[in-house]
Amino acid sequence: MEIQYVPTTCPYCGCGCGFNLVNVDGKLVGVEPWKRNPVNEGKLCPKGNFSYEFVHREDRLTTPLIKKGGEFVEATWDEALDLVASKLTEMKEKNPEQLAFLSSARCTNEDNYTFQKFVRTVIGTNNVDHCARLCHGPSVAGLAQTFGSGAMTNSLESCAHSDVVFLIGTNTLEQHPLMWRRALQAKAKGAKIMVADPRFTPSAKQADLYIPFKSGTDVALLNSMMNVIIAEGLEDKEFVENRTTGYEELKEMVKKYPPEEAEKITGVPADLIREAALMYAKADNASLLFSMGITQHTVGTENVMSTSNLAMLTGNIGRPGTGVNPLRGQNNVQGACDMGALPVSFPGYQAVANEELVEKMTCSWGCSDLSCKPGLTVVEIMHAAHAGDIKGMYIMGENPMISDPDLQHVGEALNNLDFLVVQDIFLTETAELADVVLPAYSWAEKDGTFTSTERRVQYIRKAVEGPGESRDDWAITSDIATRMGSDLFKFNSAQEIFEEIRSVTPQYAGMNKERLEKPEALHWPCPDEEHPGTPILHAEKFSTPDGLGVFKAIEFKAPAENPDEEYPFILTTGRLLFHWHTGSMTRRSETLNREVSTGFVEINTEDAAKLGIKNKEMVKVKTRRGEIEVPAKVTNDIIQGTVFIPFHFAECAANMLTSGDALDPYAKMPELKVSAASIEKLE
């Protein structure tokens, strides 16, 4: 019997935990702790523990598929790739702007880098995006405007040094369990945990202070907390004076939000707002964590900027135990953004609209005619496909038929395409609509790097062979590029690609193989090989041109859709401990799926009683986009007037109900956390 222990990085949430995959005679049989990894020190949540279970599933894609007469037929790689290359060439020659590309936060940095380079150098468009748009696009846009860098300011470990940990719009215990462990380490040393959330989540249940508020009223709550802090003279005057601009405008604006006024908007009692403000402001070191409860709104970017305002006002930036910390949902959502899988930037957030940077990338890549026109975002791509303006799409490792808003619209958009290529590990709901399906390696079969939510760049290592004829994502994309006549994709390994990445991405420049091999790896920015990496940003100055943090005076704006007589509830969506995103991997893990095997709608006990709904009874939830049938979970863990549906489950897909019509003006985020809904008992 041959046993191998292969150290690698978890394929699920953005915490980036390390563990050993155990290979016995060519099959993965489990995971074992990797105690020297400082992210999780040998600890794991259930998803990490059972992450190997889907790898050997019999329904893995093992050969390319081409749709003929409405049915998939197995094909050779030559047949499939020649077809893809010839169709994309033909369509690009007509108009490259009629093609769109979805990259993937599940895939490695090397896969994402290769994919966006293909889109830019071979196709000639910037129509490349990925589902960060639907999770943390506003974090990137908001933090870039206030701090000059759109990333988590502090490391995970830093949170353990907080005196107060403020969670707003994040159920960290369930979604980022190994980050939650750091909050508990702080609590064990006497720190207080504050949670603001419309649901009494497992995180809220362990908090010292729970602030239940109406979904979509974050700005009013945060402005009111700042109103109290300034009124009490608790602002950090020295920090405000020396490190920031825009304070006077902010101070004037928050005067409009005394707690009694904010109570009318948020539903939070004025005294509770005061208590929260004082608790946060009086801490020596307060860290603020947020996730999609903050970002998934048409005011997502403004919500993010409000969190920056609060942290700067109290001087809680640049030290251990402080910071503004967006917890990225997917394993490599930070890396996919860093690699330029975004319609506005090359790798390293270098703007495609900046002529000097276009010139730089043209020289670095040895190409010509890079487009400087920003491309379309995820939701814009679907709208354009629906309208017939996008005619071809290539999707790598994403499943918009579950993850995107308004699924009926998404289905119509994808069916409207002349040509759809999907590259994935399973025949997902999206792959079923494709003309060509390309089988890829899972994370356990790949070498490469992921960049976690704390900007830590870590290796993943191949622990087992991929099934059938599946291949590396970067190799498939490179093969298509070469068949389309490019000679810029002669990569032989992920390491070769990483060497090119660090040559064009300033934040990664100092990351060589020897340094990344160490369990602690490196946090970006790491501009040269002598630089130690940067676990905590903005210690001395912000990343803005003048080094100052920028206060933004932001007024509360109501959500794009509000409850009315016909649709009297606020529907909000989210995630569960045992599942991950569109469920394509966790629902194929026997152990995880056994824990929660289908979706549900959470409804408050009193709301349910008025509608005659009992626990576990089937109900119909309806919005202006569509309706689903789903079992009710009657509970006091959610405020009255709000219902919650997890979005992992295709058979009762929450995104049948959400809207993609209104978008955040900065980050193009739809109103995923607030939809007006009705609910009725099914007879």
Closest distance between ligand SF4 and the C-beta of residue 36, in Å? 16
- Judged by CB, which is closer to ligand SF4: 101, or 580? 580
Which span sits near ligand SF4 by CB under 6 A: 12-20, 123-131, 417-425, 592-600?
Answer: 12-20
SS3 state of residue 5: strand
CB 651 within 8 A of CB 657: no
Closest distance between ligand SF4 and the C-beta of residue 33, in Å? 11
Taking the C-alpha atoms of residue 300 and residue 632, their distance in angstroms, rounded to an integer, is 29
- Judged by CB, which is closer to ligand SF4: 114, or 171? 171
Closest distance between ligand SF4 and the C-beta of residue 17, in Å? 3
Closest distance between ligand SF4 and the C-beta of residue 285, in Å? 23
- The answer to whether 21 contacts ligand SF4 (rule: CB under 6 A) is no
DSSP state of 31: E
- Residue whose entry in the numeric block shows the structure tokens 């950090």: 236
Residue nearest to ligand SF4 (CB): 48
- Between CA 569 and CA 582, with CA 211 as vertex, the angle to 5 degrees is 55
CB 27 within 8 A of CB 56: yes
Tell me which residue of 423, 450, 472, 497 sits closest to 338, measured CA to CA: 450
- Judged by CB, which is closer to ligand SF4: 16, or 375? 16
Which span sits near ligand SF4 by CB under 6 A: 15-23, 260-268, 624-632, 649-657?
Answer: 15-23
User: How many of the chain's residues bind ligand SF4 (CB under 6 A)?
Assistant: 14
Token code pair at residue 637: 């863990």
Closest distance between ligand SF4 and the C-beta of residue 39, in Å? 8
- The answer to whether 460 contacts ligand SF4 (rule: CB under 6 A) is no
- Judged by CB, which is closer to ligand SF4: 12, or 54? 12
Taking the C-alpha atoms of residue 435 and residue 68, their distance in angstroms, rounded to an integer, is 8
- Judged by CB, which is closer to ligand SF4: 28, or 643? 28
- The answer to whether 15 contacts ligand SF4 (rule: CB under 6 A) is yes
Query: Across the strands, what pairs with 351?
Result: 345
- Judged by CB, which is closer to ligand SF4: 47, or 471? 47
Taking the C-alpha atoms of residue 48 and residue 355, their distance in angstroms, rounded to an integer, is 43
- Residue whose entry in the numeric block shows the structure tokens 């009086």: 282
- The answer to whether 105 contacts ligand SF4 (rule: CB under 6 A) is no
- The answer to whether 13 contacts ligand SF4 (rule: CB under 6 A) is yes
- The answer to whether 315 contacts ligand SF4 (rule: CB under 6 A) is no
Please provide residue 600's backbone torsions phi and psi, each rounded to the nearest 5 degrees. -160, 165
Among 31, 61, 66, 178, binds ligand SF4 (CB under 6 A): 178
Q: Binding string to ligand SF4 for residues 31 to 70, with x set by CB under 6 A, is what? A: ---------x---xx-xx----------------------
- Residue whose entry in the numeric block shows the structure tokens 């041959």: 2
Taking the C-alpha atoms of residue 317 and residue 322, their distance in angstroms, rounded to an integer, is 6
User: Where does 50-176 have alpha helices with state H?
Assistant: 77-94, 109-118, 137-147, 172-175
- The answer to whether 173 contacts ligand SF4 (rule: CB under 6 A) is no
- Residue 428 Cα distances to 106, 585, 606, angstroms: 14, 10, 38
- Judged by CB, which is closer to ligand SF4: 12, or 551? 12
CB 601 within 8 A of CB 616: no
- The answer to whether 289 contacts ligand SF4 (rule: CB under 6 A) is no
Taking the C-alpha atoms of residue 144 and residue 127, their distance in angstroms, rounded to an integer, is 22
- Judged by CB, which is closer to ligand SF4: 12, or 491? 12
Closest distance between ligand SF4 and the C-beta of residue 49, in Å? 7
CB 320 within 8 A of CB 283: no
Taking the C-alpha atoms of residue 408 and residue 414, their distance in angstroms, rounded to an integer, is 10
Closest distance between ligand SF4 and the C-beta of residue 181, in Å? 8
- Binding positions for ligand SF4, rule: CB under 6 A: 10, 12-13, 15-17, 40, 44-45, 47-48, 176-178
